């Protein structure tokens, strides 16, 4: 295996050592970011007179040629992507390629490429979040009046609307977008020029490369610049949070598409069949998202465990940051799109949803609220309504079946006007507190969401 080092070695490394240490299969992912970092470094070397301007131009042209050729032209029987690119550069421009690594180490190089890669990936993730939010907003608007049961403890609790429920997921994504944006800012500092750990005696200009690469500034301490992987941990954490939310949506899709709920019909294009049971339509995509969330959470734990024992200075352990990072980013990008596909193409079974609020006692709070509004302390009202629920159960009726005569029998202290608050649709209509599902409150929420969704970023929730 060709290497960038070996001058001080009299024997070559064992094959197993080469295989165990090789990272090209994963770090090839950021071949473009590695090239971009190298172009900035070469230009700076020329501008500062560390190499001649002509040499810098030869290097930059060579790097651009490698970009045009694409990753297939690289020899991947090497240790890592940095080696592959430098060796190809040597083939293209000759010995002057050896000047590129002046005042640079793979330690600052890999940290730079990883930060640039994360930066680009986050832009894609932010777009995917916006896009999924767009579908949620559209469907929430369309179904803002569609009655459905609201759950606590997975039991019918109070009536809500489908639009209100979908907006719950919209705001979760808004927070995750905000987190990803904060990470975007925090990670946007340049390690380039930190060299191996202690900077360099060459008169480099780290501000110049930081600026060319779009970083806010160079990281002030070279040792920190090469040792820090907290931006990877942050990214893995944000990925885990996004995946956890997508897993929760998935869980609802799985439950709601089953016969017991029947709230949603998933489209053929996102369901799968069974090899034995011809009638099956399985929500596999939702299940896989739910299932893969374990790995995305584990990726954070993996990297946190790698980092916890490391003293300052580059340690090869940190090579282990890349597989979890690429894996988690890949999974959330696919999962965001798959949730969108499932929601875009589904058929909501609005009648089934509305019907399931009938007879479920979910307006019991409304009855207690009615009594409390007419002066009875809420605790007492809660007791009285508890009695009504028992009375109904004994008679095999539901709250909606109450009329003047059976209400008198069960709870004579409740006036008959109370019968007007027992319909689920009326319950929703009254819930106009800020953030509630009532029509006016929902209009306010949808308007705010639409306004924030139309903005470029997420740096605001309300
Ligand atoms: N593959 C290495 C990594 O990902 C690149 C840096 C190697 N540096 C070193 N001194 N061995 O961390």
**226 in ligand 1 pocket by Cβ < 6 Å?**
no
- Select from 102, 126, 155 the last residue of a domain: 102
Return the HEC string of 10-27.
CCCCCHHHHHHHCCHHHH
In a domain, 10, yes or no: no
Q: How many structural domains compose the chain?
A: 3
355 belongs to a structural domain: no
Ligand 1 close to Cβ of residue 308 (< 6 A)? no
* Burial track 117-150 (b if 16+ CB lie within 10 A, e otherwise): bbbebbeebbebbbebbbbbbebbbebbbbbbbb
- Asked if residue 321 belongs to a domain, the reply is yes
Say yes or no: 311 and 190 in one domain.
yes
**Per the residue annotation, which of 52, 131, 269, 274 is the catalytic one?**
274
**What spacing in Å lies between the alpha carbon of 447 and ligand 1's midpoint?**
50
Considering the domain boundaries, does residue 210 fall inside one? Answer: no
Could you read off the pLDDT of 203-238 as tens digits, one per residue? 999 999 999 999 999 999 999 999 999 999 999 999
Q: What is the CATH number of the domain that holds 41?
A: 1.10.275.10
Q: What CATH code is carried by the domain that includes residue 429? A: 1.10.40.30
Contact predicate 21/79, CB 8 Å: yes
pLDDT in tens, 269-324: 999 888 888 888 899 999 999 999 999 999 999 999 999 999 999 999 999 999 99
- For residue 460, being part of any structural domain is answered with no
Which residue among 84, 102, 120 closes a domain? 102
Residue 4 lies inside a defined structural domain of this protein: no
Distance of CA 410 to the CA centre of its chain: 52
Mutate to test the pocket of ligand 1, among 26, 319, 320, 323 (most ligand atoms within 8 A of CB): 319
Give Cα 189 to chain centroid, integer Å: 22
Residue 211 placed within a domain: no
187: which DSSP letter?
A: T
Total residue length of the chain: 462
CB of 80 within 6 A of ligand 1: the answer is: yes
Range(s) of the domain holding residue 97: 15-102
- Average pLDDT in the 50-75 region? 98
Would you say the CB of residue 320 lies under 6 angstroms from ligand 1? no
Query: What CATH number corresponds to the domain at position 182?
Result: 1.20.200.10
Residues 337 and 258 in one domain: yes
- Domain assignment of residue 6, yes or no: no
Cα(308)–Cα(292) distance, integer angstroms: 25
Contact 371, 381 (CB under 8 A): yes
Distance 315 CA to ligand 1 centre (A): 8
Which ligand 1 atom is the nearest neighbour of the CA of 316? 12
Please identify, among 319, 349, 379, the residue that sits at the C-terminal boundary of a domain: 349
Q: Whose CA is nearest to atom 12 of ligand 1?
A: 319
Report which ligand 1 atom has the smallest distance to the Cα of 314. Answer: 10
Looking at the structure, tell me whether residues 180 and 280 fall in a common domain: yes
Q: CA 11: distance to chain centroid?
A: 47
- The torsion angles phi and psi of 398, rounded to 5 degrees, stand at -115, 175
Q: What percent of the chain has pLDDT over 90?
A: 92
Mean pLDDT for 158-165 is 97
Strand partners, 190: 218
């Amino acid at each position: 295996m060709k290497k960038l080092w070996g001058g001080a070695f009299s024997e070559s490394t064992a094959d197993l050592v080469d295989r165990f240490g090789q990272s090209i299969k994963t770090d090839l992912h950021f071949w473009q970011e590695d090239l971009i970092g190298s172009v900035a470094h070469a230009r700076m070397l020329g501008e500062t007179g560390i190499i001649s301007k002509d040499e810098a131009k030869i290097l930059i042209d060579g790097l651009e040629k490698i970009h045009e050729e694409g990753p297939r032209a690289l020899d991947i029987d090497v240790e890592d992507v940095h080696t592959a690119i430098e060796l190809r550069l040597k083939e293209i421009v000759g010995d002057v390629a050896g000047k590129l690594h002046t005042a640079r180490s793979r330690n600052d190089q890999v940290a730079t490429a990883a930060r640039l890669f994360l930066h680009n990936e986050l832009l894609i993730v932010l777009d995917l979040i916006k896009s999924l939010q767009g579908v949620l907003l559209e469907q929430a608007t369309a179904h803002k009046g569609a009655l459905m049961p609201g759950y606590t403890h997975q039991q019918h609790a109070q009536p809500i609307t489908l639009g209100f429920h979908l907006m719950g997921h919209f705001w979760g994504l808004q927070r995750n977008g905000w987190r990803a944006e904060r990470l975007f800012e925090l990670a946007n500092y340049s390690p380039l020029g930190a060299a191996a750990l202690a900077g360099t005696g060459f008169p480099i200009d780290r501000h110049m490369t930081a600026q060319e690469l779009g970083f806010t500034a160079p990281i002030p301490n070279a040792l920190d610049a090469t040792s820090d992987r907290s931006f990877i941990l942050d990214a893995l954490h944000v990925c885990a949070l996004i995946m956890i939310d997508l897993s929760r949506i998935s869980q609802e899709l799985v439950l709601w598409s089953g016969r017991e709920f029947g709230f949603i019909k998933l489209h053929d294009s996102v369901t799968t069949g069974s090899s034995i049971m011809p009638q099956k339509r399985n929500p596999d995509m939702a299940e896989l998202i739910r299932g893969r969330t374990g790995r995305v959470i584990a990726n954070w734990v993996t990297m946190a465990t790698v980092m916890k024992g490391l003293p300052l200075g580059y340690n090869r352990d940190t090579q282990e940051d890349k597989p979890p990072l690429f894996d988690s980013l890949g999974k959330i990008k696919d999962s965001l799109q798959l949730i969108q596909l499932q929601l875009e193409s589904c058929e909501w079974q609005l009648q089934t949803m509305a019907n399931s609020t009938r007879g479920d006692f979910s307006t019991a709070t409304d009855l207690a609220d009615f009594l409390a509004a007419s002066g009875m302390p809420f605790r007492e009202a809660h007791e009285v309504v508890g009695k009504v629920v028992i009375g109904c159960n004994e008679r095999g009726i539901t709250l909606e079946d109450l009329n003047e005569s059976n209400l008198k029998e069960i709870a004579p202290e409740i006036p008959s006007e109370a019968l007007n608050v027992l319909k689920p649709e009326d319950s929703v209509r009254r819930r106009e507190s800020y953030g509630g599902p009532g029509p006016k409150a929902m209009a306010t929420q949808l308007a705010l969401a639409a306004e924030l969704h139309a903005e470029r970023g997420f740096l605001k929730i309300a």
